[in-house]
Each structure stands twice: as structure tokens, then as C-alpha cells.
């Protein structure tokens, strides 16, 4: 006897998401069918795979398919599959809850979204799956029975606060989802989903490449039986297995949209076939925009893995490195076992070789796009540049290609980003170094005192403002033989007279200056010993009195902060204070020190010079209250 019907509440987040879905976040309601068919197709994949790998599972896989049934009188559309099915617990867990990470933050963002378009693009990135049924139906009934079990389950909800669940007898293995359709409403984007032409059109558009037959039972069931086989609506062609020359751009785009649930076409398509000892086909896509969770720790990565047309897994991370986590697509390998697990894949030499080849292909496609279609490339870089730069740290094999892809702001043109190659082509005679400065934002970098001499002398400096820039510039020594040099690190001697003429004179002048300032520098060094490891004269300043720099191998303050935020226990990184010997404050300080080295006011000024240099580069003062007091005292003295 069947158990009584239970009424259960949706989880709070699920309820919120349902409300968003029902109140038409999507202007295009037709996609509900794509979502339900995609779930049904996954269920068929799972049953096929499980029956191949679990010989104890007595399941009939001889005719796996999806059926769409229209009942005009009852105004229902049913999506039926004979796939894996669900147990009662599965239904409660999978349909009543959204276990996806990031749901709460996504909901918050959707609520903040300014308009329906922005909200739609956010929810589009998430994929509402099963719940999209409630866009077109005011009641949804689901019957299901898990393969290998006897007990069926029936679930029903109007998408408001709760759902009912009960046992059901005599169900076939698989799942059927019956939508009690809302009336068609053109203005609200609600099509007539009882019309077979409409269903045919939606399946063709969104689900043509689904690898299982999608059949439609004709309106009149009796008549269809008399006519024989129901009609199959989709072509089922595995697009990746067809030669490139036979696939149209529209087909590629539709396929991409099916697997990614994206509403825009991809920015780039890579289709390849490898023959030889390890055969495979790959069809990869670079999306046009980043998913909302690109930088979240548990963001999915990887492509779908098939073995000889049998779906094995989604998000196969062994096939894509972390820094290409935005690439979507399919890899169909011919010589793998269907039982292959993620762990085995991680250590499989052939998979590593496939991955290496795929990475090269994707990077080559991006490089090609950069030369041939710089406008699209600029958009792709804007979306994924920060992630691609992680490759400079992770992937030593492709450093050269990745460096060619880098596009960054520079002092050359405030409006336009530059590539490293363009930078090198513009380098001054005798310059063999690529100068850059990292910082939190463009304005801070541009106004940093470190820039002064470079600007004055016409040297171009790259402006790097992504956190990842701090790290890769530390790890990658050069581009095409030209060393990377932070203008906030090491000795920068732009006065160096490399061709020799006049060099002696400059050297004598420098030596004289060093001698003149020796006493002041020595005194400052001991006075500021707590904060800096050295005080020296600078050649990089023209207008500021002082700046802080690091040794070539030192961590930058931002990097130091990042490591500390990650919980690393670092010793204090002391920096070098550089003084501008031509600045009136510095020359006056020298005179005052010569006149009376014991004047206590000089100590305050030394601290103020150090604090100002910190502030000028956007740094944090060790003791802001003390700095303000010293500054106020000094200002009071001048009045
Ligand atoms: N027809 C079905 N047969 C078996 N299980 C199903 C079926 N439909 C849904 N499910 C189960 O319910 C889960 C939730 O489905 P839902 O469509 O909400 O999300 P999803 O398919 O996991 O994600 P997305 O649609 O964003 O890719 C699925 O992962 C699957 O386990």
C-alpha cells in the first residue's frame, strides 16, 4: 500500500530562486524545455554508464530515449525518460534543495541587479535547471523510479512554498515531468507549448545535438500507435565527430549554448581531431563572458569527457589547467576505459599529453584572435586576462605564448592597452629592460613618485594593477630576452652613460654628491632603522623628496600583504628610503643636520619624510596617529 502524502517546505534559498524564476527573470521562456531535456539526457547517460560499469544493475538500456507527450485536454506537456531515475531521498535532496555553492551570494547579486537584463545575465550564468519548469507551468508533477529499486515516488508542487511527496506503485524505471501549462501569453514570452510545431522548433533549436532520441508522441495517442513509430525530433549528431568543413557556425554556436547554458555565442571555437596512438576529438569554446564564480574557490573547471560517444563526466579537470577554467567543450577519447575515474585521469600519461595539446591549441587560437580580431580579443582579455595571467605562474611550458597574450595598460597611451611586443618595439635606444610598476589602481601607479624620472626621461612603464601581476612579475624573468624590472625595486640608474662619452664627468659628480650627503644618510639610516634597511640617494625622483623602494629580490608591500592575509608568517620586509638630492627639503635637511646634528626636531622630520614616502605609494602608515601629531606640530612651527 502506498504511504500517505507528505508536504515538505522548500529550502529558503530554493524558494527565493523559484520566485525569481516564476516572476519571469528569463524573457525567453522556451528554454525550460532545453533544461528538462538536458536533465533527461543526463539521466540516460548515467543509466548507460552505470549499466556498463555495474554488472549487477539489471536495467534495460536497449532503447534509451526521451519522449515528449502533449495532452491537449489536460493542457499538459510531459517530458519522459527511461534513464537512471531518483529515489525518494534523491528527490528531496536534488529537487527540494539547491546544493550549489554560491547560491546565496548569487541571489544577493540578483537582488542588487539594476534591471531585468542584468538579473537575467546573472541567473543565466547559474542555470536554474529543473526550476525553469515553473516559468511555464503553474503545477509540476514528477514521477520517478530509480534503476535497481522497486519503489516509485511522486512529487508535486505549484512552485510556491512547499511540495508534496508520496510513494507510487507500478512506475517504470526513469522519470517523467508533467507540466500543467499556463495559458500561452505572447506578451509575457509564453509560447503555446501544446502546439507540436512549437515543440519541434524548440527541440531543433536547443536540443538537436542531444545524443539520445527525443521522440514526440503525436497529439492523438491512439492514432500515433496505429501509424507506428513516433517522430524523432533531433538529429543526434555528435558535432565534434563531424569534419570541420561540414559544420556551420550556427551549429557550433547552438552546440555551445546547449552545453554551457549560455545565452550568447562563444568568442572562439576550437575543433580538432588527433589520430595515432591515442585518438580523440575535441570541440572547445572560449565564452564571450566570464561566469559569476570565475574566482570562487569551488568554481567548476574542465570540459565534458566522452569515451567513444558515451558520456563519462562533466567538468573533467584533468583535461584543462586551472588557468583555462573558463574553457567549455567536449573531449571524446577513443581509448579510455568507461570506468575511468577522476583520480586515474589525473595520473594518466596520455591524458596529460592530451591536455598539453589542448592548452597549446586554445592559446594558439587566442593568439590568432589577437592578431586577426583585436576588438574581440580585447573583450576576451577583459573577461579572462586575470585568469590567463595565472598561467604565467602555473604553466612554465607556455610562458612565451602567454606573454604574447598579455595586454596591459601603460604610460604610452592612457586610452589603449599595449602588448609586450608593442612595448619592446617602442623601447628607447639602448634600453633593454621592460619597466613596470604594480599597484592597486591606475591612478595610484601613475602618480607614484617612482614614475617621476621615467616620465621625465620618456621611458614607457607598464601599469600592472591586478593582484596576480605582483606574483607573475616575480616569477617570469624576461620577455623575448628583455628583462622585467619593477621601477620600485633595485637601483634604477637612468643617468647611466652606457656609451662612455661624458661618463667620467657624471661619475665624479655622483661621487661628490655621495660624499656631501654621506653624514645625513648615515644619520637617517640609524634614526629610521626600525623602518628601513638603507637610506640612499635616488636617481628616479624629479619632483618628490623621497620614495621607498625594494631590493630586486624583495617582496613588494602588496605581495607581503597578500601572503599575510593568506596566513603566512613572514618576517618584516624592510625597504630602502631613497632621497632626491635636488629637492629643497632634502638639501635643507642636509644643511640643518650639518649645523646641529643633535637637534631633536630633525628626528621628527626624518619620520615625516619616511611616512610621506609611504603615503605617496599608497602604503599604510605604521602609526597614523603619531604621524598626524608630528605633522601638526611641524605645521604649527611654520606659522
Ligand atoms: N530526469 C531526471 N532524471 C534523474 N535525475 C534528475 C532528472 N532531473 C533532475 N534530476 C536530478 O536533479 C538534479 C537537479 O536538477 P537541476 O536541473 O535543478 O540541476 P542540474 O541539472 O544539476 O544543474 P543545471 O541544470 O544547472 O546544469 C540533477 O542534478 C539530477 O541529479
Please indicate if the annotation marks 342 as binding a ligand. Answer: yes
List all residues 6 or more positions away from 275 whose beta carbon is below 8 Å from its beta carbon.
none
* Mode of pairing for the β-strands spanning 328-333 and 280-286: antiparallel
Q: Closest ligand 1 atom, CA of 127?
A: 26
466 close to 562: Cβ distance less than 8 angstroms: no
> Exposure of 349 by Cβ count < 10 A (0-12 exposed, 13-18 middle, 19+ buried)?
exposed
Per-residue pLDDT, averaged over 148-174, amounts to 94
Cell of 636: 604649527
Confidence band, pLDDT 50/70/90 cuts, at residue 360 = very high
**Mutate which of 36, 130, 214, 291 for ligand 1 pocket (most atoms within 8 A of beta carbon):** 130
Closest CA to 561 of 467, 627, 497, 430: 467
Closest CA to 459 of 434, 440, 438: 434
Per-residue pLDDT, averaged over 525-547, amounts to 93
pLDDT at 101 over 70: no
Supply the pLDDT for residue 126.
60
Supply the pLDDT for residue 175.
98
pLDDT at 608 over 70: yes
pLDDT at 73 over 50: yes
Per-residue pLDDT, averaged over 220-246, amounts to 75
Per-residue pLDDT, averaged over 101-129, amounts to 67
Nearest CA to ligand 1 atom 10: 39
> What's the mean pLDDT when you consider all of the chain?
88
Which residue segments constitute the domains of the chain, with CATH numbers given? 6-232 (3.30.565.10), 239-377 (3.30.230.80), 406-486 (3.40.50.11260), 508-638 (1.20.120.790)
Residues in contact with ligand 1 by the CB-under-6-Å rule are 35, 39-40, 43, 81, 83-86, 94-95, 127, 129-130, 175
3-state SS, residue 269: strand
Q: What is the per-residue pLDDT across 434-469, written as a single tens digit (0 to 9) for each? A: 999 999 899 989 999 999 989 999 999 999 999 999
More confidently predicted of 114 and 56: 56
pLDDT at 377 over 90: yes
Confidence band, pLDDT 50/70/90 cuts, at residue 490 = confident
pLDDT at 38 over 90: no
Long-range contacts of residues 17-22, Cβ cutoff 8 Å, at least 24 apart = 17/98, 17/103, 17/107, 17/128, 17/131, 18/131, 18/134, 18/159, 18/160, 20/107, 20/110, 20/119, 20/123, 21/123, 21/128, 21/131, 21/132, 21/134, 21/135, 21/159, 22/134, 22/135, 22/159
Helix (H) or strand (E) holding 270, with range, is strand 268-274
CA of 530 to the centre of ligand 1 (A): 60
Confidence band, pLDDT 50/70/90 cuts, at residue 599 = confident
Per-residue pLDDT, averaged over 277-292, amounts to 92
Supply the pLDDT for residue 224.
45
Q: Closest ligand 1 atom, CA of 39?
A: 8
pLDDT at 143 over 70: yes
Supply the pLDDT for residue 606.
95
Q: What is the per-residue pLDDT across 405-421, written as a single tens digit (0 to 9) for each? A: 999 999 999 999 999 99
CA–CA gap between residue 516 and residue 508 (Å, rounded)? 12
pLDDT at 103 over 90: no
363 close to 405: Cβ distance less than 8 angstroms: yes
Nearest CA to ligand 1 atom 29: 94
Q: What is the per-residue pLDDT across 294-306, written as a single tens digit (0 to 9) for each? A: 887 777 788 999 8
CA of 40 to the centre of ligand 1 (A): 8
Supply the pLDDT for residue 558.
82
φ, ψ at 29 (rounded to 5°): -80, -20
Per-residue pLDDT, averaged over 509-531, amounts to 93
Per-residue pLDDT, averaged over 97-121, amounts to 67
Confidence band, pLDDT 50/70/90 cuts, at residue 433 = very high
CA of 591 to the centre of ligand 1 (A): 78
Q: What percent of the chain has pLDDT over 90?
A: 59
Helix axes 103-112, 116-126, angle to 10 degrees: 170
CA of 437 to the centre of ligand 1 (A): 48
Q: What is the per-residue pLDDT across 521-533, written as a single tens digit (0 to 9) for each? A: 999 999 999 999 9
User: Of the ranges 153-162, 200-209, 246-255, 517-526, which one carries the lowest mean pLDDT score?
Assistant: 200-209
pLDDT at 145 over 50: yes
Q: Which residues pair with 535 in a beta bridge?
A: 577
Supply the pLDDT for residue 404.
97
CA of 129 to the centre of ligand 1 (A): 7
Decide: pTM greater than 0.80: no
Confidence band, pLDDT 50/70/90 cuts, at residue 517 = very high
Q: Closest ligand 1 atom, CA of 84?
A: 4
520 close to 428: Cβ distance less than 8 angstroms: no
Q: Which residues pair with 162 in a beta bridge?
A: 9
**Mutate which of 42, 79, 133 for ligand 1 pocket (most atoms within 8 A of beta carbon):** 42
Confidence band, pLDDT 50/70/90 cuts, at residue 121 = low
pLDDT at 375 over 90: yes
Amino acid at each position: 500500500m502506498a504511504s500517505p502524502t507528505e508536504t515538505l517546505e522548500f529550502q529558503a534559498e530554493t524558494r527565493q530562486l523559484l520566485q525569481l524564476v516564476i516572476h519571469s527573470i528569463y524573457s525567453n521562456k522556451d528554454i525550460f524545455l532545453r533544461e528538462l531535456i538536458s536533465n533527461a539526457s543526463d539521466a540516460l547517460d548515467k543509466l548507460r554508464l552505470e549499466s556498463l560499469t555495474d554488472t549487477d544493475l539489471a536495467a534495460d538500456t536497449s532503447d534509451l530515449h526521451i519522449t515528449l507527450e502533449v495532452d491537449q485536454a489536460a493542457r499538459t506537456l510531459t517530458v519522459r525518460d527511461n534513464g537512471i531515475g531518483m529515489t525518494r531521498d534523491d528527490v528531496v535532496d536534488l529537487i527540494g534543495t539547491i546544493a550549489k555553492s554560491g547560491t546565496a551570494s548569487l541571489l544577493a547579486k540578483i537582488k542588487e541587479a539594476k534591471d531585468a537584463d542584468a538579473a537575467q545575465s546573472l541567473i543565466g550564468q547559474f542555470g536554474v535547471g529543473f526550476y525553469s519548469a515553473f516559468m511555464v507551468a503553474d503545477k509540476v508533477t514528477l514521477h520517478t523510479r530509480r534503476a535497481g529499486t522497486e519503489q516509485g515516488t511522486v512529487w508535486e508542487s505549484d512552485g510556491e512554498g512547499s511540495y508534496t511527496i508520496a510513494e507510487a506503485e507500478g512506475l517504470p524505471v526513469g522519470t517523467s515531468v508533467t507540466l500543467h501549462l499556463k495559458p500561452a501569453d505572447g506578451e509575457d514570452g509564453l509560447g503555446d507549448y501544446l502546439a507540436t510545431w512549437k515543440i519541434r522548433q524548440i527541440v531543433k533549436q536547443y536540443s538537436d545535438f542531444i545524443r539520445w532520441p527525443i521522440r514526440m508522441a503525436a497529439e492523438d495517442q491512439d492514432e500515433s500507435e496505429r501509424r507506428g513509430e513516433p517522430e524523432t525530433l533531433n538529429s543526434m549528431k555528435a558535432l565534434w565527430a563531424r569534419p570541420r568543413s561540414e559544420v556551420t557556425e550556427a551549429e557550433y554556436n547552438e552546440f555551445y549554448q546547449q552545453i554551457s547554458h549560455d545565452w550568447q555565442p562563444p568568442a572562439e571555437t576550437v575543433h580538432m581531431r588527433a589520430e595515432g596512438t591515442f585518438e580523440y576529438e575535441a570541440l572547445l569554446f572560449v565564452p564571450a563572458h566570464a561566469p559569476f564564480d570565475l574566482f570562487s574557490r569551488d568554481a567548476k573547471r574542465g570540459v565534458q569527457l566522452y569515451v567513444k560517444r558515451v558520456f563519462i563526466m562533466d567538468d573533467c579537470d584533468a583535461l584543462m589547467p586551472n588557468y583555462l577554467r573558463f574553457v567549455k567543450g567536449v573531449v571524446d577519447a577513443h581509448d579510455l576505459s568507461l570506468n575511468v575515474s577522476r583520480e586515474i585521469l589525473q595520473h594518466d600519461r596520455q591524458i596529460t599529453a592530451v591536455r598539453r595539446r589542448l592548452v597549446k591549441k586554445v592559446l594558439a587560437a587566442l593568439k590568432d584572435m589577437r592578431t586577426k580580431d583585436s576588438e574581440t580579443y580585447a573583450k576576451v582579455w577583459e573577461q579572462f586576462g586575470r585568469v590567463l595571467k595565472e598561467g604565467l605562474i602555473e604553466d612554465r611550458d607556455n610562458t612565451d605564448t602567454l606573454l604574447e597574450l598579455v595586454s596591459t595598460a601603460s604610460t604610452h597611451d592612457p586610452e589603449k592597452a599595449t602588448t609586450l611586443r608593442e612595448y619592446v618595439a617602442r623601447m628607447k635606444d639602448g634600453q633593454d629592460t621592460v619597466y613596470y610598476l604594480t599597484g592597486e589602481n591606475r591612478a595610484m601607479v601613475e602618480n607614484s613618485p617612482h614614475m617621476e624620472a621615467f616620465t621625465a626621461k620618456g621611458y614607457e612603464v607598464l601599469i600592472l594593477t591586478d593582484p596576480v601581476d605582483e606574483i607573475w612579475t616575480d616569477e617570469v624573468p624576461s620577455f623575448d630576452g628583455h628583462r622585467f624590472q619593477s621601477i620600485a625595486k633595485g637601483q634604477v640608474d637612468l643617468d647611466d652613460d652606457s656609451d662612455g662619452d661624458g661618463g667620467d664627468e657624471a661619475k665624479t659628480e655622483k661621487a661628490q654628491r655621495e660624499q656631501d650627503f654621506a653624514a645625513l644618510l648615515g644619520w637617517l639610516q640609524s634614526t629610521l632603522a626600525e623602518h628601513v634597511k638603507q637610506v640612499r640617494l635616488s636617481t628616479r625622483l624629479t619632483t618628490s623628496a623621497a620614495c621607498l623602494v625594494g631590493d630586486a629580490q624583495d617582496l613588494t608591500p602588496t605581495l607581503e600583504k597578500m601572503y599575510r592575509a593568506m596566513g603566512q608568517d613572514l618576517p618584516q620586509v624592510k625597504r630602502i628610503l631613497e632621497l632626491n638630492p635636488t629637492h629643497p627639503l632634502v638639501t635643507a635637511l642636509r644643511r640643518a643636520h650639518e649645523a646641529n646634528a643633535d637637534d631633536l626636531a630633525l628626528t621628527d622630520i626624518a619620520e615625516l619624510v619616511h611616512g610621506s614616502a609611504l603615503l605617496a605609494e599608497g602604503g599604510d602608515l605604521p602609526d597614523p596617529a603619531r604621524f598626524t601629531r608630528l605633522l601638526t606640530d611641524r605645521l604649527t612651527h611654520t606659522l
